[in-house]
Structure 1
Amino acid sequence: MFGGIPFEHFAHGGGGGGSFGGGRGGSAEPPDTTKLYETLELEKDATAKDIKKAYFRLSKVHHPDKGGDAHKFKEISAAYEILSDPEKRKQYDEYGLEGVDDEGGAQQRGEDLFSMFFGGGRGNGRARGPRKGPSVNHPIKVSLEDLYNGKTVKLAVNRKVIIGDAKECEKCNGRGAIMEVRQIGPGMITQMQRTCPSCQGQGNTAKTKSERQVLEVHIEKGMKHEQKITFRGMADETPGMETGDVNFIIQEKEHELFKRKGADLLVTKDISLNQALTGFTWKIKHLDGRQVVIKTRPGQIIECETTDAESGRTLPYITMVKDEGMPSLGNPFVKGNLYIAFHVKFPQKLEPDVIKQLRMILPDADIEEEYDPEQVEEHFMDVADLRHFGKGGAVSQQSEYDSDDEDRQGGVQCQQS
C-alpha cells in the first residue's frame, strides 16, 4: 500500500531480524546534513545567493591553478553542485549524502561522495567518525590601520559545555528522528518522519552548562575583508558530535582617506590647474603613523583625464607610489602600491591681464580669426549639461503638428461625380 518498506529510513543491522536492512544507508545514525554547508562555510539557512557567493569566493582561493588544494577544490565544487540545485538540496537536507549519491551523479565523476567528504566509501567497512557540530560565526569590525599594522584583541565568547556523560535519547532510541503515523482518510494512513523533539535530532542527550571563555584573536598584517579567523572546537558542545568551531569574520571599516583593493591602496586628490601645470607637494599620514610627502617631479604635468587603451573609456588621471600599499598576508615585507587619482579644478573666470600673460607663457595660444563683425554672427558659449543633448528645439510642438497633419490627410476623401 505504501510502496516501500515501512520505517526504512530507520533501518539498522541489530534487532528486528534484519527486516529493515533495505533502508537508505542501513545505519542507525541519523544522516549527516551539515557537511556540505560546512564545506562552503555556510549555515543551513543560507540563501541561493549566499551559496553562489560562497562558491565563487572559495573556488578562487582553492583552485589548483592558483596554488590551491585539488581535493579541497573538488569538495567545494561538489557541495555547490548539490546545494545550488533546489531538488538536490532538499534531498540532502532530508537524507544527507545518500539522498543525492546516485549513479548519475558523483559516481560518474570518478569519486564517491562519501569518499570525498568523509575519507571512505560506504562499503569499505571503515567508520566515518562522529559528525561535526555547527560552527558559530562572529563578525569583528577592524580598522584599515589594524589590518596594516596587525593587532591582537581579546574577545569573550559564551558556549555550552557538557556536564557528565551523554546518554542515548530514550524517545528515538538514539536515531535522532521519530516516525509518526497519521490517518488521512477512512481506511488510509500515512507515516511521516520528523526530527526527535527530545534530542533535537542528535540521538543523544546530556546536561550542559554555560561557560565564558576569553579568546585572543590575532589579526595578521594584510588580512582582508570577510577573511575568517578560526578557533577549532570552541563552539557549543553537542552530545555524540565533534565540537564545532568559532569563526571571527573580519569586517573592514571604511577609511576616510584610503580605499583598498587587494594589497593596493587608492587615494583621490583635488588639485588646481596651477598645481597640475607647475607641480605640488602633498603631505599625508600613512596607516602606520608615518608622515609621507608626495610630490611631482620637476616639469611633470598632471593631466585632467586619460583614455583607457582597451575600453576607450575616459578615466581619471592616475599616478602611483611604489611599495606604499598594504603589506601582503603571510609576507608583510612585500607591499602593494599606492595609487593616486586626480581631479583638476579649473578657475571659473580669469582677469584680462592674467589671460594676456597666459597667452605669452603657455604653448599653443589661440590665433584669433580675422573677420568683420558686420559680416558674421558672433556667439558666446554658456555652460551646458550633456544629459540635455537631443532635447532642444520644439520637439513636442512639432509632434503635435505632425499628428494634426495626419488627421487632416486621413479625413480627406475624393468626391466623385
Structure 2
Amino acid sequence: MAVDYYSVLKLSRNANPEDVKKAYKRLAMKWHPDKNPVDNKEAEAKFKQLCEAYDVLSDPQKRQIYDAYGHDGLNSGDFDVAPRSDPDDIFAEFFEEPNNNWQRAFKKTCNGAAASGRSHKSGGGKKAAAVESKLVCSLEDLYKGARRKMRISRTVPDNFGRSKTIEEILKIDIKPGWKKGTKITFPEKGNQEPGNSPADLIFVVDEKPHDVFKRDGNDLVVIKKLTLLEALTGTLSNLTTLDGRVLPIPVRDIINPGHEEVIPNEGMPISKDPTKKGNLTIKFDVVFPSKLSAEQKSDLRRVLGEADN
C-alpha cells in the first residue's frame, strides 16, 4: 500500500504549513544518512519518504489533490500540478551552510528520490514496443465520419515502482474516407514498466463487411441483380446510399450480362479532401430463368423471331 504522507511526517490532516516545515526538519535530522550507520536501508527509505511527503504537503495544490484523491490523483495526469520540487530549493529552505556533509547527503538522497519519481511517472529509460489494437469501423462510419470513445486499461508504476492498473477513455475522431490499415497513435498510452517510458498505443482501422457495398480504394461497387425481363425491357430501382439518400437507378437500354455503369462522385470521400469522392460502379447481374415452359419458349421464338425479321 502507498504510504500516508501525514503519517510519514507524524502530522494530523489539519496541520498548517508551519507544522509541516517543523515536522520535516525534525524528522530529516533523525533519518538523514549522516545520522545513521552506513548502508542503513531503513534510514534511506525513511528519508526518501520524507522528501516525497514534504514535497506534496508543502505545496497547497498538490496537498489539495492528495487530500481529495490520494496518490492516484497525483499520478493520474488529470491535474496540472507543478513537478517535484528541486532538492536544492528544499535544502535552501532549511540549511544555511552551503558545503557541509549534511547538504551533500541530502542532495544525493533527494535527487535519488526525485529521479525515482520521474522514472515512475514519465519514464526516461528505453521505450517499450508500441501496442496495436483493432478499431473495427462500419462502412457508414468511414463514409460519414464518427466519434468513438474507447475505454482502455493499462498498467503503470506508482511512486514506489509497484504496478497498478488505471483506466482511461480515449476519444477517436474517425475521418471521412479513412481506409483499412489507417493508424491512430496515442503517444505513451500503453503499459509502462518501472524506469522505462510508456509504450505508444496504436489503433488500426479495420473495415467491417457491408451487405450492399464493396469498397475498392476510393470507389464503391454494387452488384445489381436484374431478371431477364428487366434486362430486356428496362426497369427503375432505387439504391440507398451510405449517408441515407435514395439514388434512382434507371435501366432503359438492353443490359447484357457483365454490363457496368459508373456514377461519378458517389463513391467514398477522399480523406485528404472530403469534398471530393470516388465513383460508384454498378455491376449488373442478369439472372436467367432456370427453366421455361413450352408455351414460354414458343412465345419467345415468336417475339424474338419477329424482332430479328
1:153 corresponds to which letter in structure 2? R
Match of 1:259 in 2: 214
CA distance in 1, matches of 2:300, 2:228: 14
Asked if 1:148 corresponds to 2:143, the answer is: yes
Asked if 1:212 corresponds to 2:167, the answer is: yes
Q: CA-to-partner distance for each residue in 1:164-190, whole Å, 9 max, x for gaps?
A: 26xxxxxxxxxxxxxxxxxxxxxxxxx
Match of 1:246 in 2: 201
CA distance in 1, matches of 2:184, 2:139: 17
Give 1:217 shift: 1.4
Give the alignment partner of residue 345 of structure 1, picking from 284, 287, 308. 287
Match of 2:303 in 1: 357
Give 1:277 shift: 2.5
Give 1:138 shift: 1.7
1:162 corresponds to which letter in structure 2? P
Give 1:130 shift: 4.4
Q: Percent identity?
A: 36
Give 1:354 shift: 4.2
If each structure's helix is expressed as a fraction of its own residues, which one has the higher value?
2
2:304 corresponds to which letter in structure 1? L
Match of 1:373 in 2: none
- Tell me, which stretches of 5 or more residues in structure 1 are unaligned? 1-128, 166-205, 305-315, 366-417
Question: 5 Å matches for 1:37-48?
Answer: none
Question: 5 Å matches for 1:16-415?
Answer: 130-164=125-159, 206-296=161-251, 298=252, 300-304=253-257, 316-347=258-289, 348-349=291-292, 350-360=296-306, 362-363=307-308
Number of aligned residue pairs: give it: 182
Of structures 1 and 2, the one scoring higher in RCO (CA 8 A, sep 6+) is 2
Find the residue that maps to 1:164 and give its secondary structure.
coil
Match of 2:87 in 1: none
Moved over 6 A (4+): none
CA distance in 1, matches of 2:126, 2:216: 38
Aligned 8 A contact 1:134 1:235 in 2? no
CA distance in 1, matches of 2:164, 2:125: 22
2:136 corresponds to which letter in structure 1? K
CA distance in 2, matches of 1:156, 1:147: 21
Aligned 8 A contact 1:225 1:251 in 2? yes
Find the residue that maps to 1:320 and give its secondary structure.
strand
CA distance in 1, matches of 2:177, 2:205: 12
Normalising by structure 1, we get a TM-score of 0.41
Distance 1:139 1:353, change over 3 A: closer
Aligned 8 A contact 1:141 1:253 in 2? yes
CA distance in 2, matches of 1:335, 1:321: 11
Give 1:249 shift: 1.7
2:254 corresponds to which letter in structure 1? I
CA distance in 1, matches of 2:299, 2:193: 84
Find the residue that maps to 2:302 and give its secondary structure.
helix
CA distance in 1, matches of 2:179, 2:143: 10
Match of 1:52 in 2: none
Q: CA-to-partner distance for each residue in 1:94-153, whole Å, 9 max, x for gaps?
A: xxxxxxxxxxxxxxxxxxxxxxxxxxxxxxxxxxx8432222222122111111111101
Find the residue that maps to 2:158 and give its secondary structure.
strand
Match of 1:394 in 2: none
Normalising by structure 2, we get a TM-score of 0.55
1:339 corresponds to which letter in structure 2? T
Give 1:270 shift: 1.5
Q: CA-to-partner distance for each residue in 1:206-228, whole Å, 9 max, x for gaps?
A: 22321101101111111112222
Q: Is the deviation greater in 251-260 or in 340-349?
A: 340-349
Q: CA RMSD in A?
A: 1.9
Give 1:338 shift: 0.8
